[in-house]
Amino acid sequence: MSVRFGTQQVGDVTVFYREAGPADAPVLLLLHGFPTSGHMFRDLMPALADRYRVIAPDLPGFGNTKAPPRGSFDYSFDKLAEVIGGFVDALGLARYALYIFDYGAPTGLRLAMRHPERVSAIITQNGNAYEEGLSKDWGPWQTYWRDPSPQNREICRASLTDEAIRFQYQHGAPAGLVSPDGYTLDTFYMHRPGAQDIQLDLVLSYRTNVALYPAFQRYFREHRPPLLAVWGKNDPFFIPPGAEAYRRDLPLAEIHFLDTGHFALETHHAEIAERMRDFLHRNGVGG
């Protein structure tokens, strides 16, 4: 099944997106994380496109989406959710299952809280909504949240280096199974003019996501979306207790740990696709 590429204007943002599958099929909205783009779904989308309309936009500040520069655009998670909400409206997506990963989790959960009637199910792949899911490696970012000084901002720049990006892909993943294409592309994006300062703005804005965790959890309790967690158990940033915590608010949540790292799709896309198809079928999403 071929993947199609397009753009959608949302205000002053030109959202680039990938799409596959029949136009009348149930929709899966795939939301990527830091520091990547919809490219991370390149293997997953064809594996689901026979039964679903699979759509993966690039968030503002990432990939091939074109947004205004810093100073004329607010690079915050509220703004990311506003733009993706506009994208969903522009495409006329009245009902969809959410796939949330990393930064895509707080973005997608803002959409879910705003329009709970639209969400048929949630698949979270290392997409966090609980404080116990944050590892000790978040220390420098948490210091920056508490004291957003220039010095603390510069310390966070270490997360944006080529080495740090490569580490995200390779740590905890089976040796020899992670293609260099993903992290090579992401390091290219990070070297674009202004990219690092945009990312540092989002690092600071991440504190608003943690502040919203109680609201996300209330949404789970009140609306009970079917939820599947497929989690790279060796992720050094979003650790397994973050996946297990979903059962506190969603007792029927299905949780599966994979022997890989943060970017689980790099090594386990076939297994994730299989689990998604079974989960969605049993919950009435698709045939």
> b vs e for 89-114, b when ≥16 Cβ sit within 10 Å of the residue's Cβ?
eebeeeebbbbbbbbbbbbbbbbbbe
Q: Are 127 and 101 in contact (CB under 8 A)?
A: yes
Contacts of 37 by beta carbon, 8 Å cutoff, 6+ apart: 58, 59, 62, 63, 64, 65, 185, 186, 189
Helix H or strand E encompassing 90: helix 77-91
Among 196, 252, 239, 206, residue whose Cα is nearest residue 106 = 206
Q: Are 38 and 62 in contact (CB under 8 A)?
A: no
Q: Can you name the residues that pair with 57 across neighbouring β-strands? A: 17
Complete DSSP assignment for 192-204: STTHHHHHHHHHH
The C-alpha atoms of residue 217 and residue 170 are separated, in whole angstroms, by: 31
Q: Which of 262, 268, 269, 281 is catalytic?
A: 262
Helix 139-146 to helix 195-223 angle (10° resolution) is 90
Q: Where are the beta strands (DSSP E) in 174-221?
A: none
Is 262 annotated as catalytic? Answer: yes
Which residues have a catalytic role annotated? 262
